[in-house]
Amino acid sequence: MILLLGGGVFADYWSAKPAGIEAQYVGRTACIDCHRDQAEAFKGSHHDLAMDVATEETVLGDFNDVTFEHDGLVNRMYRDGERFMVYTEGPSGEMEDFPVKYVFGVTPLQQYMVEFDRSDDMSEDELSRLQVL
């Protein structure tokens, strides 16, 4: 019964889908007119703050030239002008400097995404993140 119902919903969706139009991201503001209450509740929530560009306002970690040891490696978090930087092990196994591109999360922890050159052994959807506790 459930399979039959699910198949009917899918068939209805498929037949109503306009031909030649592909789905694309329209931005968060496109839905606000019809969903004001939901947008207001979302604003500032942990889901809203879950991923953002690394800026003075979004980075919560201490980047005042601090070091920490993890798995026997001494890592360094520091500032290079406006950029937030991490000195850590790169994909080559050597220690390298990486600018922090994005932040993930707010509390109880925040993770920082750095961009690695994609090596041949990395899958297409693999991302590189440095988790700082």
- 46's CB contacts (< 8 A; 6+ apart) are 105, 106, 107
List of long-range contacts for 42-49, beta carbons under 8 Å, 24+ apart: 46/105, 46/106, 46/107, 49/105, 49/106
Please give the share of the chain, as a percent, with pLDDT higher than 90.
42
Q: Answer whether residue 93 is part of any domain.
A: yes
- When divided into structural domains, the chain yields a total of 1
pLDDT of 133 reads: 41
Asked whether residue 117 is assigned to any structural domain, the reply reads yes
**Which long-range contacts does 112-117 make (Cβ < 8 Å, 24+ apart)?**
112/54, 112/59, 112/61, 112/84, 112/86, 114/86, 114/88, 116/90, 116/91, 117/91
Mean pLDDT, the chain, rounded, equals: 82
Mean local confidence (pLDDT), 13-19:
68
pLDDT at 63 over 60: yes
* Residue 86 predicted with pLDDT over 90: yes
Query: Is 62 domain-assigned?
Result: yes
Range of the domain at 128: 44-133
Cα–Cα distance for residue pair 88/90, rounded to 1 Å: 6
The pLDDT tens digits for 105-132 are: 988 889 998 887 666 666 666 655 554 4
The whole-model pTM stands at: 0.65
The reply to whether 25 falls in a domain is: no
13-27: buried (b, 16+ CB within 10 Å) or exposed (e) per residue? eeeeeeeeeeeeeee
- In this structure, is residue 65 part of a structural domain? yes
